[in-house]
Amino acid sequence: MELVEILEKYIGEIKPLDEKAMEGAWDYWDSRCKPLRGMGKLEEMVVQLAGIYGTVHPGELKPVVVIMGADNGVVAEGVSQTGSEVTAQVLENMGERISSVCIMARTQGIEVIPVNIGMLVDGMHPRIWNRVVRYGTGNIAEGPAMSREEAIRAIVTGIEVVKELYGQGYRMVITGEMGIGNTTPSSAMASVLLSREVEEMTGRGAGLSSEGLQRKIRVIKRAIEVNGPDKGDVLDVLCKVGSLDIAGMMGCYIGAALCKVPALIDGFISSVAAYCAAALAPACKAYMVATHCSAEPAGRLMLEALGMEAPIWAGMHLGEGTGAVTAYGLYQYAFALYNGLPGWNDGKVEAYEHLK
């Protein structure tokens, strides 16, 4: 079977959420002793999970953080503060469980899986999953990032990583990425897909100077001019000015929907991948969860394009899934309330009613 046929098969197998279970979850929230809908997004999060899992009372979530790691040829243009060798070092640090997301995830007992989908080198640490599609992308300022076939292969790789983790018992995917220079292709993709000016969609990434930011903007404009991506074809935009980590995360979102588990969107780059996944496979959007709004300039714009609102605005823009891991704590509070609040009679309070 051709790669594109495999991808189409996976997309075609995605099922809609269980509306009956969601209605039941809303009814259950309304039967608890508290002001109706008083917990806002925490209530919405539980209802969405009811629809995903197909039950009014979802059980243990069993989350896993999936980090897609890849290198970007455009680093040669001086668009980042550090060199590409840092990508591999950070993935090795993730293998050692000493990176930012690993330390945060450890506080909640969450496993972190670093996936090498396109670094310039193979990952050495035994905890790194080497699933290399190609060793780094091309320099988008001079030509396409990858071929269309490689883009599809990277998406399918992301899907199959999630399927494998589902087989290991995980029931929630927290997305993240690692790749020096990856805010350049993500800003290029966002600019094309949303028909926005490059200046509006481009930030300082991991810490560029003002001069460096202007150079990055010029490089993105050149990349778009050189490659001429078609905004009506997500795969064309991805293969011409995108990155392998974005392609892999697209697969994670599609794979999560295929396996009927939620997928938590991290920051700006993750939201670009989520937007592209939803364009390619509209049914997978129902399984996505916005977690925080990145401080990158286009963070808010990407969430608006997805029609989503993030519960956390904390000025975060580190990536690596750190914002999504932070938001996972909201689920713990939500379920504590959902499962712990008494009903109106037990709470000895007269029931509230929905008023028109």
Q: How far is CA 36 from the centre of its chain?
A: 31
How far apart are alpha carbons 130 and 88 in whole angstroms? 12
CA distance 79 to 204: 9
Give the relative orientation of helices 148-167 and 3-12 as an angle to the nearest 10 degrees: 50
Q: Closest Cα to residue 271, out of 241, 301, 302?
A: 302
The two three-digit tokens of residue 264, written as one number: 């938590």
Joined together, the tokens standing for residue 42 give: 């925490």
3-state helix, strand, coil in the chain (%, to 5): 50, 10, 40
Alpha helices in the chain (DSSP H): 3-12, 19-30, 41-53, 85-95, 100-106, 148-167, 183-194, 198-201, 210-227, 234-241, 244-258, 268-280, 299-306, 322-340, 344-347
For the question of residue 350 being annotated catalytic, the response is: no
Distance of CA 195 to CAs 159, 222, 223, Å? 28, 16, 15
Task: Report yes or no: 115 and 68 within 8 Å, Cβ to Cβ.
Answer: yes
Q: Which of 96, 225, 320, 353 is catalytic?
A: 320
As given in the structure block, the two tokens for residue 43 are 């209530």
SS3 263: strand
Axis-axis angle for helices 244-258, 148-167 (nearest 10)? 40
Residues noted as catalytic: 320
